[in-house]
Every structure is written in C-alpha cells, then in structure tokens.
C-alpha cells in the first residue's frame, strides 16, 4: 500500500508542485480535447458548451475533493494518469457515432464520457495536494478553502493560455505535437507527476493508441486510415496539423476529384479525372462554381473605359484555399500576391493542386498585412480577392469596418474587389456584413452561387463585387461586366458556364437594420456575433455531412 501514500508523505513543496502540475495538465488536455473534436464536429460547435462543462466539472472536483479523498483512501490521485491514458480510446469510439449523436450534442456526450471525469478528478486531487502543501488549515476554514481555490483557478487559466500560445506556433511540427500525438504525450506527463504501479492499467490504452488509432500521422496509421475510407471511395493523399486546424488532402477515387480539408470544412477542390479525348484546361476546374465566379473580377468594366491589360495588372488575394482563383489570375499574366495565414495550406496548394510558384506569398495574418501596408501606402492593386471561409464559419474579424477600410486603401481608384461570403442569408451577420462593405464601397453588386439553396434555410456562397467608382465607361451608375472572350475561359468548358455571374441578389434585402442590431460591424463588437457564428457553423456541419461520407470525417 506504500505507493498509494507516497505522494502525501513527500514534503509540502513537492506536494504543491504536483498539485500545480495536475492543474496545468488538466488545462492542457482540455485544449487538446477541443483540437481532436474539431475534425469531427468543427471548431466552433466544439466550443459551444465546452467552457460550461469544464467549469462545472472543475467546480464539482474542487468542492467534492474531501469526499473523494475519504472514499478513495488517497488513491484517487493515482487513477488520474490511467484515466488520461484511456480518454483517447473512449473518444475514438464515441466519435465513430457522430452522425447518430448529432451536433452540438456529440461534443457534449463525448466530453461527458471522457474529458469531464478527468477534469473533475484532476482538480479534486490537485486541490487536496495544494491545500495540504500550503498547510492553510490552521488559518481557518474560509482562508483554507478559498485561497487555494483562487490560486488553482489562476494556475489553470494561465496554463491554458500558455499552452495555446505554444501550440499555435509548434503544432504539427513533429508527430508528438500532432493532435493525436499530444493525446499520447499528456498521459505520459501525468504518469511522471504521479507514478505508481496502477499505471499498468494504462498499457492496453497506450498500445491501442500506438497501433490502432488512425489519427496518428504515422505511415502504418495512414495505411489503416486509407483502408477504412477506401470503402467510401476515398484515399488520403497528405495530412498535417497546422495553425488553423487539421489540414488534409483527399482524393475521390470514383468521381475523380481532389479536395483540401480543414477540420470539418472544405477549403476547395478540383477535378482530376482524365477522360478520353479530353484536353485539360490551363487551370484545373474547381468543384465549386463560386471559385470560378471570383475570377470574374477581371471582367468588371473600368471607369476609364476599355479593358485592362492583364500583363500590366496586379492582384492581392486574401485567403488561398487550394489556389484556384489566384492560379487563374496568374495564368492570365497578372502579378499576384497571396496572403495566407496557414503555411501548410500554402504548401499543400503548391504540392497537390498545381498552384504556380510565380507569385508573392505572404504567410501571416491578413489583418497584420493590411494594417502594415495601409499605413505605408506604397502598394495598390488593380484587383483584390477576399476569400477567407474556413472551419465552418466566416472569420468576422476580416469583415469589420476597419479591415474592409484597409482593403479600400489598398485598391486602386479604378480597381475592383471581389468578396466571397459563405453563410445563411437569413441570419443577422450576413446583413451586417453586406451593410459594412457597401458603406465603404459606393458601387456593389451581389451574386450567389446557385439560384436557390438546396440546404439551408438559405446557406450559400455569394460574391460581392465592388468598386470605388460611381460612374463607368458606359455612363451607367451600375457595376457592369464585359462580355467574356474565349481566352477568359482558359480552355475550360466549366468556366464558360460559370465564369460570368448570373444569380444576382437584391442588395435592398440587407439594408434594414434588425431590431436591436447594428448598422455596421466594428472590431470592438465582433464578440456579439459568436452566437450567430455557432448557428451558422452547425448548419454548415450538416451540409458537409452530405458532401463527404461520415466515415471520411470521423476517421480524419
């Protein structure tokens, strides 16, 4: 029985260090748990109830620590590493039922059977160790209870912020720093803090993680993953954890297309299947018409009259995806700068989707780039393409009055901007976004990808074309497109069908300010949109489950 009493027989400093370590590791696993939910449920839906659940589990652990301590005879602390080691196994099998569980119920149910018990037990044992290590009982019950409670909350919160900062820079850099790799690493760290013979119970779970968890980015695991999804007609080409999420490239073997995935969304796709007597276009056809429609930014008539000369033009693309639009701009001879926050997305676009190398890549947050160049004002562009949908939701920070104003400053006086917005046209954020854009650009027209939404209520991709000008060569006050010529299609029948926008949306439908709403979106108010983002992300999750089979999402 000695091993079960050893940690409480150590000096107070070691007990305090062990308690603090348990709190930090609980915060560590809480964040990693969200990362591992995101490929199955999406990053936004995974967050909806996470804070409440972790808070409740932590409070239950703290206020129930004495009861747990008495019932277990001080043995509970030695179960924590074992529980941590089994968490990924439980999560793996529960996640296989994601379609049946639904969203957002799925993340909550998964956490109830895996993360919340670990947080409860970690906080209970950490609280007892901290309380014992500080030896505050002699100062009275109030002090003895609440000083450690406050300190434990500070330690947990600080640990969570430090871990987020660390992983934002290094996630995916090695196998052990991948999402699945971290689920192996954290139990090992738990075991180092609280070693005991009970750790033998963790061996089966560790063996499962190392041999059967297809999420580990190792050769044999990738082979097992391909075996699992081959029945659905898919094959994994490449994958890597990165700053914006879990990024992978998948081939549909039956219909012949390739897609890039980020968590539970698609950044784009292109047709790769060759057919007899088929001449491939200069830039491969995308699987979504909206990416071709963005190329129509070249067709907008200018204020000075006459078409632009492509070789004398330049473009700024905010958000890369698979690179269809910037690839087409480059194919027309336009000097193109691409701003992409995720280095893996840029790498995969070049390696697997044919993105030409003759562009200027800027790997950083678009807000940083725009603010820096707006202040220097040394470069302006003929075309700006804004296409930043990812993770199942629009990053609202890139649709604020301040950011769009920055793009206005970077656009030449006779330039054109095309802004892709994916969302539910019936929701408040869509109207708010359109009003913000049209308040900055005086002349805009809005087009949706399809005439009606087959999913919804009315979820669609729409492109907002805008200029700084109010008059055009035709003396019209409306933005107009020139008729495309064969060279505009780049040898693609797909582009001949979808390049010129067709399904216009009446701008007036977005002009009325909803009761209690705002007219424009400002940086300081983006937090007001989180509940709408969550709703939109849940709609998008349901849509994505009709695009790719559930087995593909669940097996990453």
3-state secondary structure 361-386: EECCCHHHHHHHHHHHCCCCEEEEEE
104: preceding bond cis by omega (within 30 degrees): yes
What is the distance between the alpha carbons of residues 432 and 411, in angstroms, rounded to a whole number? 22
> What local confidence, expressed as pLDDT, does residue 395 receive?
86
Distance of CA 214 to the CA centre of its chain: 21
Say whether 201 sits in a helix, a strand or coil: helix
Which stretches in the chain have pLDDT values below 50?
A: 1-4
Question: Which residues make beta-bridge pairs with 335?
Answer: 314
pLDDT recorded at residue 1: 39
Residue 505 has a CB neighbour count (10 Å cut-off) of 17
| Single pTM value for the model | 0.91
Q: What percent of the residues of the chain are helix, what percent strand, and what percent coil, each to the nearest 5?
A: 55, 15, 30
pLDDT value at position 2? 41
289-476+498-531 is a CATH 3.40.50.720 domain: no
pLDDT for 114: 96
The pLDDT of residue 13 is: 84
Residue 85, token pair as written in the block? 């080691």
- pLDDT at position 142, please? 54
Query: Rounded to 10 degrees, what is the CA torsion of 468, 330, 482, 437?
Result: -30
Q: What was the pLDDT predicted at 3?
A: 43
Query: Quick one: angle between helices 76-95 and 179-193, nearest 10?
Result: 170
Give a three-class secondary structure readout of 338-356: EECCCHHHHHHHHHHCCCC
- From residue 359, alpha-carbon distances to 310, 333, 336 in Å are 15, 11, 5
pLDDT given for residue 151 in this prediction: 74
The CA R_g of the chain, rounded to the nearest whole Å, is: 27
Report yes or no: 349 and 322 within 8 Å, Cβ to Cβ: yes
- H-run or E-run covering 86: helix 76-95
Among the listed residues 89, 253, 58, 47, the one whose alpha carbon sits nearest the alpha carbon of residue 157: 58
């Amino acid at each position: 029985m000695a091993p079960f009493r050893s940690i409480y027989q150590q000096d107070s400093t070691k007990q305090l260090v062990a308690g603090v370590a348990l709190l930090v590791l609980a915060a560590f696993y809480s964040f990693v748990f969200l990362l591992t939910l995101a490929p199955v449920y999406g990053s936004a839906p995974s967050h909806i109830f996470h804070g409440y659940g972790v808070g409740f589990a932590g409070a239950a652990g703290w206020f129930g620590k004495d009861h747990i301590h008495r019932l277990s005879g001080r043995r509970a602390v030695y179960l924590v590493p074992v529980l941590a080691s089994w968490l990924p196994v439980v999560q793996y099998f529960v996640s296989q039922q994601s379609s049946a569980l639904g969203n957002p119920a799925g993340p909550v149910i998964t956490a109830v059977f895996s993360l919340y018990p670990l947080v409860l037990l970690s906080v209970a044992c950490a609280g007892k160790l901290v309380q014992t290590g500080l030896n505050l009982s002699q100062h009275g019950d109030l002090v003895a209870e609440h000083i450690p409670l406050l300190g434990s909350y500070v330690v947990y919160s600080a640990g969570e912020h430090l871990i987020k900062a660390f992983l934002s820079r290094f996630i995916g850099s090695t196998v052990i720093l991948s999402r699945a790799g971290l689920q192996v690493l954290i139990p090992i760290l738990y075991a180092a803090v609280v070693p005991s013979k009970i750790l033998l119970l963790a061996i089966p779970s560790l063996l499962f993680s190392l041999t059967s968890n297809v999420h580990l980015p190792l050769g044999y695991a990738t082979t097992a993953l391909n075996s699992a999804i081959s029945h659905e007609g898919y094959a994994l080409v490449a994958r890597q954890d990165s700053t914006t999420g879990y990024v992978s490239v998948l081939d549909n073997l039956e219909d012949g297309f390739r897609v890039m995935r980020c968590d539970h969304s698609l950044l784009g796709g292109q047709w790769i299947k060759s057919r007899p007597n088929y001449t491939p276009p200069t830039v491969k056809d995308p699987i979504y018409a909206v990416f071709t429609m963005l190329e129509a930014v070249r067709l907008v008539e200018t204020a000075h009259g006459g078409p632009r000369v492509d070789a004398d033009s330049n473009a700024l693309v905010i958000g890369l995806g698979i690179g269809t639009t910037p690839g087409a701009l480059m194919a027309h001879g336009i000097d193109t700068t691409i701003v992409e926050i995720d280095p893996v997305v840029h790498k995969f676009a070049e390696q697997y989707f044919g993105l030409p190398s003759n562009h200027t890549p800027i790997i950083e947050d678009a807000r940083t780039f725009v603010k820096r160049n707006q202040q220097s004002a040394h470069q302006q562009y003929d075309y700006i393409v804004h296409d930043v949908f990812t993770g199942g939701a629009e990053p609202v920070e890139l649709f604020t009055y301040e950011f769009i104003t920055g793009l206005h400053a970077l656009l030449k006086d006779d330039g054109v901007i095309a802004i892709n917005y994916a969302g539910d046209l019936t929701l408040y954020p869509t109207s708010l976004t359109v009003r913000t854009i049209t308040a900055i650009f005086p002349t805009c027209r809005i087009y949706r990808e399809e005439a009606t939404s087959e999913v919804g209520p009315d979820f669609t991709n729409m492109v907002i074309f805008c200029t700084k000008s109010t008059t055009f060569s035709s003396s019209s006050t409306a933005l107009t497109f020139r008729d495309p010529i064969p060279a505009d299609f780049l040898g693609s029948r797909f582009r001949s069908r979808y390049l010129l926008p067709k399904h216009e949306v009446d701008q007036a439908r977005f002009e009325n300010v909803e009761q209690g709403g705002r007219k424009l979106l400002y940086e300081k108010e983006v937090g007001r949109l989180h509940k709408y983002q969550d709703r939109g992300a849940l709609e998008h999750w349901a849509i994505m489950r009709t695009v790719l089979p559930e087995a593909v999402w669940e097996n990453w």
